[in-house]
């Protein structure tokens, strides 16, 4: 089943720029135990209501739970995070599970920032934002504050 939802484009801005339509879609395939669902497009306040109805219906139809692929999601705001947490709660209340099977980097980042990733189950850990790791490059860590290289002890 494919369920597309279109957002009505906003009026042209003062500079005459055209705002293009955005679409979110969910594809759900029934399975005997788990139901896989793939979401693509933007998850935001304009789309979350219809997306929620489709994903809740997929969860209700699932035997043991819902496997959610978010690798094709190009944008996710707080309403999308709220949707994921609500689905997780609904699954638990129905003795089912919600498993996030894949996420885009943008979804991973918003889940990391909000710390919602701690509350969800992932098939594989979501990609993390790469930060500097001095030990990984053989660099010496800075001296501790209580003892510096100038300290004669």
6-31 residue pLDDT tens: 333 333 444 454 444 557 888 998 87
User: For residue 21, what pLDDT is reported?
Assistant: 52
What count of residues does the chain have? 153
Strands 23-28 and 2-6: antiparallel
In this structure, are residues 29 and 58 in contact, taking their beta carbons and an 8 Å threshold? no
128 pLDDT above the threshold of 90: no
Tell me 13's DSSP state: -
CB contact set of 105 (below 8 Å; sequence gap of 6+): 127
Cα within 13 Å of Cα(115), Cβ side: 0
39-86 pLDDT, tens per residue? 999 999 988 999 999 999 999 999 999 999 999 999 999 999 999 999
């Amino acid at each position: 089943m494919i369920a597309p939802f279109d957002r009505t484009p906003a009026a042209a801005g003062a500079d005459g720029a055209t705002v293009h339509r955005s679409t979110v879609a969910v594809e759900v395939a029934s399975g005997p135990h788990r139901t896989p669902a793939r979401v693509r497009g933007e998850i935001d306040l304009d789309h979350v209501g219809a997306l929620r109805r489709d994903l809740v219906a997929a969860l209700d139809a699932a035997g043991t739970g819902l496997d959610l692929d978010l690798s094709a999601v190009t944008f996710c705001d707080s309403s999308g995070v709220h949707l994921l947490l609500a689905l997780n709660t609904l699954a638990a209340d129905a003795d089912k599970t919600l498993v996030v099977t894949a996420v885009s980097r943008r979804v991973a980042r918003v889940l990391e920032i909000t710390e919602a990733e701690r509350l969800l189950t992932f098939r594989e850990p979501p990609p993390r934002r790469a930060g500097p790791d001095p030990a990984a490059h053989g660099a010496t860590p800075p001296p501790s504050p209580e003892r510096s290289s100038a300290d004669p002890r």
